[in-house]
């Protein structure tokens, strides 16, 4: 018997997952915080944030917090703690990517009950279109992991299990920061060689911090690490990459964010990630450069000079 699924958060990613699960015959409810937006989606059978992805007939939309067997939480990272008290007592599948500002905690470090991380190289519009994709579902609870994979996989959405929720969550958070740097490189016209080097060194940064936090190397080299990093650093649909690209072309951060309605997670994640790395005694030069660039402490030429003039050493 299929377990009921409630997707908490009706942004592009939450909507894509709800459409995916409903199309596969699951019992799905999509929760939107704004009652007016929920009513608009009910009437149009589509989310304006994800145009062209019509809702399957069985997909319900509500502004009342639903109860279900599985809660897929797809709210922005900085809203996770605030929504937790409203959720029913059911296993949580956390889809938010980032670190909480102030505490510098990853998503599974905020939740006290049973939870898993769902992460990987996935763009919402492709998932909603039914294009083939794969992701990682990570939790140290083997029984919960098996149950959730069985409940959430679909013919077009292959899930791989992992016990390493820390590494999976960190990969999903840090790749957004590296993607901003990759966008800056391309926006500034510095070339594919520079981007390839930056992605590779960015992966090394993530791996160092993951090891310090107890994550596994194979997690960072898999879908939730390298896979997500490659997609986000090269895909033009990436909000973080596109923000970096515009910064590289000379636009200000305020100007870019002022023209967006969707959250660009890497902006809030960068300083929190740098602080978490400092707490762990881990050096992350690309993350540091992005943090200073976003804070207006360096411009693009200064940022690139700082990275290229670091002390020479073995890889």
Nearest 10 degrees: Cα torsion 178, 184, 189, 193: -10
Q: Alpha-carbon distance 250 to 224, whole Å?
A: 31
Give long-range contacts, CB 8 A cutoff, 24+ apart: 149-155: 151/2, 151/3, 151/5, 151/26, 151/69, 151/70, 152/5, 152/21, 152/70, 152/72, 152/93, 152/118, 154/20, 154/21, 154/23, 154/24, 155/24
Nearest to 95, CA basis, from 129, 113, 122: 122
Residue 1 CB partners (closer than 8 Å, separation 6+):
none
How far CA 293 is from CA of 75, 213, 228, 312, in Å, comes to: 26, 26, 23, 23
Alpha helices in 121-238 (DSSP H): 124-128, 142-152, 165-187, 192-212, 217-220, 228-234
Rounded Cα gap, residues 303 and 294, in angstroms? 11
Residue 118 parent element (H or E): strand 115-119
d(CA 180, CA 268): 12
Catalytic (active-site) positions: 175
């Amino acid at each position: 018997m299929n377990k009921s699924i409630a997707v908490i958060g009706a942004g592009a990613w939450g909507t894509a997952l709800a459409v995916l699960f409903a199309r596969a015959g699951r019992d799905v409810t999509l929760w939107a915080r704004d009652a007016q937006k929920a009513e608009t989606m009910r009437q149009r059978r589509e989310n304006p944030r994800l145009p062209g992805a019509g809702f399957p007939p069985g997909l319900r939309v509500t502004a009342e917090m639903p109860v279900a067997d599985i809660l897929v939480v797809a709210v922005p990272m900085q809203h996770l703690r605030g929504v937790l008290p409203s959720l029913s007592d059911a296993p949580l599948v956390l889809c938010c990517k980032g670190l909480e500002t102030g505490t510098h905690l990853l998503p599974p470090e905020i939740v006290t009950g049973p939870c898993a991380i769902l992460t990987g190289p996935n763009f919402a519009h492709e998932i909603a279109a039914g294009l083939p994709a794969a992701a990682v579902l990570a939790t140290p609870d083997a029984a919960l992991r098996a149950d959730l994979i069985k409940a959430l996989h679909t013919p077009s959405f292959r899930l791989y299990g992992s016990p390493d929720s820390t590494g999976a969550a960190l990969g999903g958070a840090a790749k957004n920061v590296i993607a901003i740097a990759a966008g800056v490189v391309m926006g500034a016209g510095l070339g594919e060689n520079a981007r390839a080097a930056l992605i590779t060194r960015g992966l090394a940064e993530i791996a160092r911090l993951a090891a310090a936090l107890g994550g596994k190397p194979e997690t960072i080299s898999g879908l939730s690490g390298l896979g997500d990093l490659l997609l986000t650093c090269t895909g033009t649909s990436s909000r973080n990459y596109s923000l970096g690209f515009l910064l590289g072309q000379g636009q200000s951060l305020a100007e870019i964010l002022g023209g967006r309605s969707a959250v660009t997670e890497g902006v809030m994640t960068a300083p929190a990630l740098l602080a978490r790395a400092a707490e762990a005694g881990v050096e992350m030069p690309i993350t540091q450069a992005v943090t200073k660039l976003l804070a207006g402490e360096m411009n693009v030429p200064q940022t690139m000079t700082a990275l290229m003039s670091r002390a020479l050493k073995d890889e």
